[in-house]
Amino acid sequence: MAKLMPTQWRTIAPIVQCTAAQCLERYEYLLDQAQRRREGLDETIDDPRVLRSGEIDPNPENKPARPDPINMDEDEIEMLSEARARLANTQGKKAKRKAREKQLEKARRLASLQKRRELRAAGIEVRRYFNRKRGVDYNAEIPFEKQPAIGFYDTTNEIFDSGKIDYKCLHVDNRDLAAKEQQDRKKDNAKLKRKKEEDLPAVIMNENRLEPIKKSSKLVLPAPQISDMELEQVVKLGQATEIAKQKVSENGTTTTETLLADYNLTPDLNKIRTPQLPSTQDSVLNQALNLNILSTVQTPLLGESNTPLMDVSNEKSRTGAGLIMSTPNTLFDTPYRTPVNTTNDGTTSSIRGSSADFNSDSVSVRDQLNINAEEMLFDDQLKQHEVKQQLRHNLSRLPKPKNDYEIVLPDTTDQTNDDEQMDTANIKDEDQADIDQRKLEEKRRKQQEHFKRQTEVVQRNLLRPNDINLTILRSANAEGPMTVLQKAEELIKQEMLVLLHYDALNNSVPNSSASRNKNYTAYLKTYPYEEFTDDELATARSLLESEMNSVKKIMGHGDINLDSYSKVWNDCYSQVLFLPSKNRFTRANAASKKDRIESTEHKLELNRNLMALEAKRAAKLEKKLKTLLGGYQSHGQVLIKALNNVYDQIDQTQAEAKTFELLRQNEILAIPKRIESFTDDVARQEERECELQQRYQELVEERNHLLEQQ
């Protein structure tokens, strides 16, 4: 994809569901790995991009998110859900609506265009009618357009067509706003004049706007319940009490101080506030959340668990519609009394433990000197009686005891381990994810121990018989008593049959039927399967090994190699023949010719089926490998082609090098001969030149002599 769209990481990012920065970082990492592999370096060397201790991450937004812990508080869960909702709402409702309208408009325009094209192709011309605009349509016309003259001369003055002039388009609206406003004012005055002539009293009433004047009434307040004289007495009593308390505190006696109570401040003023409704959930909001969750749920083909929905049952009790709240009267509220609720039918009922009840001690009685009446005080006996009844009610809801006891001796090591675990638990609370991981590891360890106690056939995943042959045991009416060796052999056969039935029932083959499982269960009820501990199995293995060593030593047997074992196996297997008609094995020398042919045909059919199965598996594997290694194969073919070209160039270069080397050697051998030949030629040329010079001198002398004689 990086080759198809190079450096287009923002286009590639939504395809692979990653950010552009993550795609680029992954691409650079793969390039570095390929470079190391090409250079033969170790790929496990630390990546230089990995931050070391003390370094600051330049791109912290690319760091993978840590998984949320399982056991979180409600506030943390609510905060995470709100954050997810804010991150999911990348576009607001208006932007989504605009995008949807734009998409619908585009689809409508394309459909209309396709319709007009099809009608035009069918020979039907459809005219598009537009609303005629008043004035000049600047989208269809060009204002003050002047067409160029046709021909060599301007003939526009000679051609005049009055029918083509659109006077409506040439009309310009009057833009005089002052004149228009004056005209509207004249219309209003005319309308008002006409209305005065028709309904004069209503116009006068409207102009005068007569409104009834209401006199403000006198404020009437109730008479005060406490007079000024009583207030002065209360203030004097408070001052006297303060003076007495100061004298007592100066003397330092605590006995007298207990008789003086503090009546200055009113206690529990914050409890007089009107209580609120209990915290409830909005059923309409929950239903809307459920619809939103169902609209964004994934396909059920993926499996997994169902999407959890909000509980909207019992909407009346959840929305608080069934609760009739009233403002409590603090004057008549007796402390510690049983809360009383008023039902819908008007009766009162005392309800304990209800979430709609309020605290009974909302207003406390200021009785520090024990001067109030007895019926207004807290009754300790009544409170103790209520506590006992509540305790009896809770104890009656406990399950019935089971008299199952198990005595376990204490183990010092386990106790120390438990103490260490308790200490570590006290130091730090274990996370729920760690608890689940520990339980999973414990489960795997138990499964591994159980698997090791299975038979070797199950552990090595070998083939198991579909039908178990019970005739291998010695019949009860056999003649003659059995020897000790025969008895041991019968016990081994019996144990083998029990193991076969147990494996067939618990580790069944793929094509096992229910009827066979019933037979296996019935056989195991008759001959139960006994499980052995690891120590017993280890003891049995040691006994077998010692017995095998002693038999080898007595019989003189050595170690058998693979070739000898294969030869003995093939010899034994060739003596056994499978009969499909009887669905059992028999000896080959005891079978007829028909049975041998049938057995051979069955073996051939099995081999054909096996060959077809292996061919189909090989085709699937080949297809998978082709998909997985297709890019590598194509890249390898390109590299092989390039390598072959390089080899061809090397061969051609070597041939040219050998040719030039041969030429060099020949030239080395021919150079002395050429030098000698050139030397001889030069010597002959010099000798001839000397002869010619001498001949020339003689001729010149002869010419001069002849000239002198004349």
Q: Where are the beta strands (DSSP E) in 563-631?
A: 576-579, 584-587
| pLDDT tens figures, 595-607 | 889 889 989 999 9
**Residue 507: other Cβ atoms inside 10 A:** 13
Output the six-digit token pair for 96.
């989504």
Q: In this prediction, what percent of the chain has a pLDDT beyond 70?
A: 70
The per-residue pLDDT for range 565-601, each reduced to its tens digit, is 888 888 888 888 888 887 777 888 888 888 889 889 9
Q: Is the pTM of this model over 0.85?
A: no
**β-bridge mates for residue 585, sequence order:** 578
What mean pLDDT do residues 251-255 have? 61
Average pLDDT over residues 147-176: 63
Lowest-confidence region among 55-59, 88-92, 183-187, 445-449: 88-92
Which of the four pLDDT bands, split at 50, 70 and 90, describes residue 472? confident
Give me the pLDDT at residue 265, please. 53
Which pair of tokens denotes residue 24?
């680029």
Rounded CA-CA distance 164/150 in Å is: 18
Written as six digits, the tokens of 287 are 């239903």
Residues paired with 579 in a beta bridge? 584
Inform me whether the pLDDT recorded for 172 exceeds 70. no
State mean pLDDT over 507-525: 78
| Residues found in the chain | 710
End-to-end, the C-alpha distance of the chain in Å comes to 111
Query: Poorest-confidence range of 48-52, 310-314, 446-450, 453-457?
Result: 310-314
Q: Which two tokens stand for residue 334?
A: 């007796």
Q: Is the pLDDT of residue 222 over 50?
A: yes
Residue 669 pLDDT grade (very low, low, confident, very high; cuts 50, 70, 90): very high
Per-residue exposure over 446-465, b if at least 16 CB sit within 10 Å of its own CB, e if not: eeeeeeeeeeeebeeeeebe
Question: Which residues are CB-contacts of 695 (< 8 A; sequence separation ≥ 6)?
Answer: none
Q: Does residue 330 sit in helix, strand or coil?
A: coil
**Can you give the C-alpha Rg of the chain in angstroms?**
57
Measured in whole angstroms, the distance separating CA 688 from the mean position of its chain's CA atoms is 107
3-state secondary structure of 529: coil
* Sequence-ordered list of residues with C-beta below 8 angstroms from that of 355, at least 6 positions apart, any chain: 278
d(CA 360, CA 377): 13
Largest CA distance in the chain: 195
Residue 605 has what pLDDT? 92
Give the residue among 57, 55, 36, 38 at the shortest CA–CA distance from 47: 36
- Tokens of residue 282, six digits: 């909005």
